[in-house]
Amino acid sequence: MLENKKIRLRALEPEDINCLYQWENDTTLWHLSSTVKPFSKYELEQYILNSHLDIFECKQLRLVIDVKTGKKTETAGCIDLFDFDPVNLRAGIGLYIADTFRNKGVASEALDILKTFARKKLRLQQLYCSVTTDNKASMKLFQASGFKKTGKRLRWTRKDEAWLDENFYQYIF
């Protein structure tokens, strides 16, 4: 299992449809994923139905982050591996934490679990991510988790009518 005492990373389940619908249709986040239109529940149901495909086949893996609270769990967000490259042994990483779970160590613990999985099970040699320079919390998270800033893309992401620079981070195992 992909878990520690506080966090469990798990596969998508049909009952995750409402969380996905809310997260994917949050227009304040669209600039981070180049989303330009809302997702229907039907599209998201199809995504969930195909989420069982192997990372070697579809080049991505989305895991739901559950926080264990006693005998129950609460869904706190999701963590993704994308652009999986089995030749060069690397993948990008994306992370979303719902507002009520932010600043509680959830992202850091989920990232640590995923790093262990990426290294031990997928045999990856590196993970990478891009973070817009206005996202101080994410920059702090990835740096604290051992990611090194290795580059900066100027005016890389458009958010409304403004342009944001984007820092590129790498974690080398």
In this predicted structure, the answer to whether residue 170 has a pLDDT above a threshold of 80 is yes
Cβ–Cβ < 8 Å for 47, 19: no
Domain that holds residue 24: 2-129
The yes-or-no verdict on residue 1 having pLDDT over 90 is no
Average pLDDT, the chain: 94
Q: What pLDDT is recorded for position 29?
A: 86
Instruction: Give the DSSP letter of residue 100.
Output: G
Q: What digits encode the pLDDT tens for the residues 31-65?
A: 888 788 999 999 998 888 888 788 988 899 999 99
Angle between helices 106-120 and 136-144 in degrees, nearest 10: 50
Residue 163 lies in a domain: no
Residue 144 domain-assigned (yes or no): no
CATH of the domain at 59: 3.40.630.30
Residue at 12 is within a domain: yes
The alpha carbons of the chain give a radius of gyration, in whole angstroms, of: 16
Taken in order 55, 58, 59, 63, the sign of the CA dihedral is negative
Question: How confident is the model at residue 90, as a pLDDT?
Answer: 98
Distance CA 38, CA 130 (A): 23
Count of domains observed in the chain: 1
What pLDDT is stored for residue 70 in this prediction?
86
